[in-house]
Amino acid sequence: MNTEDREEITRLINRHGYLIDTGRLDSLHEIFTAGVVYDVSDFGGGEVNGLAAMREWVLALDDRNPVAHHVTNIVLDEITDDVARCLSKGIGIGVDGTARSVTYEDRVERSDAGWRITRRTVKARRTPLRP
C-alpha cells in the first residue's frame, strides 16, 4: 500500500460522516461495497447486510441517529496490497446535544471503483479506562 492508497482510504473513512449527516444515503456505494456487512451488534442491531438494508437501518433510527458524526484517530494496517484493516474513533452528537464515542473496525478492499469498506464493526465506548 502506497501513500496514495493511504490518503484515499483516509478520505473514504472521513466521508462517511458527511454522507450520513447530509442524508445522501443513495451515495453509500461511494464508501461501502454492495455486500457490506455493517455490524452494530454492540447496539442491539446485529449485522446489517448490504447497502439497501443499511439505508433502511439508518432511516429507522430516526431521532436516535446522531445529528453529527466525527471521525478521528484513523490507523491503517496493511494486510495485502488490496486489503487493509482500519481502526478509527467516532464521536456522535445526539439531537439533545449528548456526545457518544465509538470505535470503527473496518476491512477495506480495493475494487474497480477504488477502495471500499466491505465490513464495519461499530463498538460503543461506554466506560472509561479503569487501570
State pTM to two decimals: 0.91
Between residues 108 and 64, which one has the greater pLDDT? 108
| Rounded-to-integer distance, Cα 85 and Cα 130, Å | 27
State the cell numbers at 94.
445526539
Over range 94-122, report the average pLDDT. Answer: 94
Over range 61-75, report the average pLDDT. Answer: 89
CB of 36 closer than 8 Å to CB of 53:
no
Closest CA to 49 of 63, 62, 60, 39: 39
Give per-residue pLDDT as tens, 24-66.
999 999 999 999 999 999 988 899 999 999 999 989 888 888 8
Count CA within 13 A, CB hemisphere, residue 46: 4
Between residues 7 and 45, which one has the greater pLDDT? 7
Residue 126's pLDDT band, with cuts at 50, 70 and 90, is confident
pLDDT at res. 80: 87
pLDDT at res. 81: 87
Residue owning grid cell 477495506: 108
Over range 86-109, report the average pLDDT. Answer: 94
Q: For residue 8, is pLDDT > 90?
A: yes
Over range 101-108, report the average pLDDT. Answer: 96
Q: For residue 129, is pLDDT > 90?
A: no
Mean pLDDT over the full length of the chain:
92
User: Strand 32-39 and strand 68-80: pairing?
Assistant: unpaired
Beta bridge partners of 89: 72, 103
